[in-house]
Amino acid sequence: MVSLFKSGKPLLGVDIGTSSVKTVQLKPHGKGYDLVHMGIAPLPPEAIVDGAIMDGGAVIGAIQQIFDEHKVTVKDVAVAVSGHSVIIKPIKMPLMKPQELEESIQWEAEQHIPFAIEDVNLDFEILESPPGAVEMDVLLVAVKKDVIGEYLTVASSAGLNVAVVDVDAFAVANAFEAAYEVNPNEVTALLHVGAAVTTITILRGGVLVFTRDSVIGGNRYNESIQKMLGLSYEQAETLKLGGQVDGYTAADSQSAIDLVHAELAGDIRRSIDFFRSASASGVIHRALVSGGVACLPRFIPHLGEALELQIEVANPFRQMKADPKRFDPEYLEHIGPQLAVGVGLALRQRGDR
């Protein structure tokens, strides 16, 4: 799939998210993979805002914490960017050869992205068109260079060498492909709900045909709890995770949580409806949820009802071998959804795909 830089070396997946840094290392084993390492270290609020690194020191500290704790020695990494600096858009182009497309995409991209062309790194993927089509469908990917630059600077200060820059939506799609059987005509919705962003991605077969972000994620629950009960962000987080604070129990935050369940499900529904109306059959065969919020009680049933779909929680490790002496199987299943981007990035060790 699309990547902005390419390398053939085995890589450590480093997912720099709004709430934490998450790392995954895999080793090819037969047709599958072994889990070699996974790590997670929290970030303070405001270290990452809308996918941009605001507090590089905090990110470097979190990376170093994981490296020290797990004695990681890999230096070549894959990272992902997300947020407003990333544009992923299916566009129509006249039929032409891939090499010609390479040349004309620059001109074409200008009309489709809200940034100056010299300020972005561009990539594209030719999508399958129906037989007899007079135009071709191309997936355009543009990422602002200054945001990529911030990631490169932080990685290099942490002693790492960035070999691949990917985007969250593609990493989640790659993790899904490695973990689940993908039938060529099956339409799958991947709903990755992080702290700040929800990435809604639709694949036909293994190919990304639609992706959109919602700015509602796990943090919105905290805001809702904070407002309703007059608590701090950290206190709200404790209640959200089922704990107690200042005489309040998790039950006291339920109505604030339910409000956001409805808001988030409504936002995802709007994207799904848009896809359904724009695609020929509109059918979605399967929907999987990943990201930290997948663990939030009542979220999955709420979402299933709102989307009129059967929702599964994604487990990117389901086909992988993990030594039970090193990785508690129950913990792995619990944390798996949150590591979807990290797994997708660690898979980039196969290089060009």
Ligand X SMILES: Nc1ncnc2c1ncn2[C@@H]1O[C@H](COP(=O)(O)OP(=O)(O)OP(=O)(O)O)[C@@H](O)[C@H]1O
Name the site residues for ligand X (rule: CB under 6 A).
17-20, 194-197, 217-219, 237, 240-241, 291-293, 295-296, 338
Helix (H), strand (E) at residue 144:
strand 135-144
CB of 258 to Mg ion, least distance (A): 24
Pairing of β 20-29 and β 198-204: unpaired
Closest CA to 136 of 187, 91, 185, 100: 91
The pair of structure tokens assigned to 271 is 């994207």
| Closer of 10 and 291 to Mg ion (Cβ) | 291
| Closer of 199 and 253 to Mg ion (Cβ) | 199
CB of 161 to ligand X, least distance (A): 22
Closest CA to 79 of 181, 7, 180, 28: 7
Q: Are 348 and 11 in contact (CB under 8 A)?
A: yes
Residue 241 contact among Mg ion, ligand X, none, beta carbon within 5 to 8 Å by kind: ligand X
Number of residues that this document lists for the chain: 353
List CB contacts of 157: < 8 A, sequence separation 6 or more.
56, 60
| Closer of 17 and 336 to Mg ion (Cβ) | 17
Residue 217 contact among ligand X, Mg ion, none, beta carbon within 5 to 8 Å by kind: ligand X
Residue 201 contact among ligand X, Mg ion, none, beta carbon within 5 to 8 Å by kind: none
CB of 135 to Mg ion, least distance (A): 34
List CB contacts of 225: < 8 A, sequence separation 6 or more.
231, 236, 239, 240, 253, 256, 257
Residue 204 contact among ligand X, Mg ion, none, beta carbon within 5 to 8 Å by kind: none
Q: Which residues of the chain form contacts with Mg ion (CB under 5 A)?
A: 17, 194
CB of 21 to ligand X, least distance (A): 8
CB of 32 to ligand X, least distance (A): 24
Distance of CA 172 to CAs 56, 65, 257, 300, Å?
A: 24, 25, 25, 18
| Closer of 137 and 312 to ligand X (Cβ) | 312
| Closer of 18 and 226 to ligand X (Cβ) | 18
SS3 of 273, please?
helix
DSSP secondary structure code for residue 18 in this structure: S
| Closer of 45 and 205 to ligand X (Cβ) | 45
CB of 43 to ligand X, least distance (A): 7
